[in-house]
Chains A and B, each alone.
Chain A
Amino acid sequence: MTPRLRNRLIIGAAAALALTAGIGVAVFDRTPPDATALLALSLPDASGQAQQLAQWRGKVLVVNFWATWCAPCREEMPDFIRAQTEYGGKGLQVVGIAVDNADKVQQFAHELGLNYPALIGGYGAMDLSKGLGNTLVALPFTLILDRQGKVAYTHLGQVKADKFRDIIVKLL
């Protein structure tokens, strides 16, 4: 083996190692947040009735933090309505947590024909979402929990409808 070839092999081996490590970092660097505190919550719905999040254990649970003052949140809500209609019977439950007051939420839910619970979280819900991975404390923020109550997906910003559907279908 010539020294030149040996050097090339060493560079190649080092690069292959770095490539493997790089992909590893890219894929495994996110530890999913713990949803225990979320599932232990009880929040009022728009009509004032307390709702325990634990009632939806065993379902694929989509938790969407939103507000009536947040245009991107309002834009994506028809996708959640469609998903609830289409997959509700197969074990999907969408739940909205509004960073807002009950009056505004009730009016908006009525206008939009919301077919899933809209819980009232107030501004305290922003801190709750921060603990669930919403480090920027912005909206919309969405989590998808699998049937075991583990966080399978978190996303800040609008969820792309086709990607959202793929994730749900895999988890159902």
Chain B
Amino acid sequence: MDFQPTCSGSPPKPRRRLIEAGPWLLALGAVLAFAMPALAQVTPLPPDKAFRFSARAVDAQTVEARFTIADGYYLYRDKIHFALDPASGGALSTPALPAGKIKQDEFFGRVETYRGSMTVNLAVKNFSPGKTLVIRAESQGCADVGICYPPTTQTATVALPAGSVVPATDEAPKKTWFN
């Protein structure tokens, strides 16, 4: 027995629907055309934004140095060095940097890297309390997207207190090359 399809109400009209949706599809296309270059090409951060250096006084002889590392970026442990700006006078003892994440690199062998953040206390020697210190931090790192930055120097200014902890002000990072 054959059954004929029955239908109540009007059949769908795909063509008309397409015509009605046309302007909105075009508008969507236009938005995408503007947005695509930005979406397709995520611009990596400049090194001073990828690796933010800051420092604060802990006590009259100690400064806490910190790198805040953006997600997707890493610093090499053996490329981090701290020094006092010569104008500050005094000296820093060589700090024992915290252990990093160990990675067996195809080219460099066993390397240690930091992600997220790295904090280390620096002992200040031969320095007059109450004066301002300028800490220079040298670092070198890369981004997971497959680019590396040359060694960069950033500075932070710290006022060492006579006794108690005083918050420090960070200077705008200054970039120089090693040579």
Contacts and interface: CB of A to CB of B under 8 A. Distances in A.
B29 A138 contact: no
Interface residues of B, number: 34
Interface in A1-56: 8-9, 11-12, 15-16, 18-19, 21-23, 25-26, 29
A17 B43 CA distance: 28
Interface residues of A, number: 34
Interface string A126-154: 10000000001111100000000000000
A102 B46 CA distance: 27
Given A123-B177, A156-B147, A15 B34 contact: no
Contacts of A71: 105-108, 142, 148
A22 B177 contact: no
B157 interface: no
A172 interface: no
A138 B23 contact: no
B150 A8 contact: no
A23 B46 contact: no
Contacts of A99: 150
Contact of A16 (B26, B140, B146): B26
Please report whether the interface of chain B is mostly helix, strand, loop or mixed according to DSSP: mixed
Given A12-B22, A71-B106, A126-B150, A26 B30 contact: no
A74 B142 CA distance: 13
Contacts of B37: 25-26, 29
Interface in B66-118: 105-108
A118 interface: no
Nearest to B177: A123
A8 B20 CA distance: 8
B40 to A, nearest CB: 9
A70 B148 contact: yes
B145 interface: yes
B18 interface: no
Interface string B131-156: 00000000010110111111000000
Interface of A: 8-9, 11-12, 15-16, 18-19, 21-23, 25-26, 29, 67, 69-75, 99, 122-123, 126, 136-140, 156-158
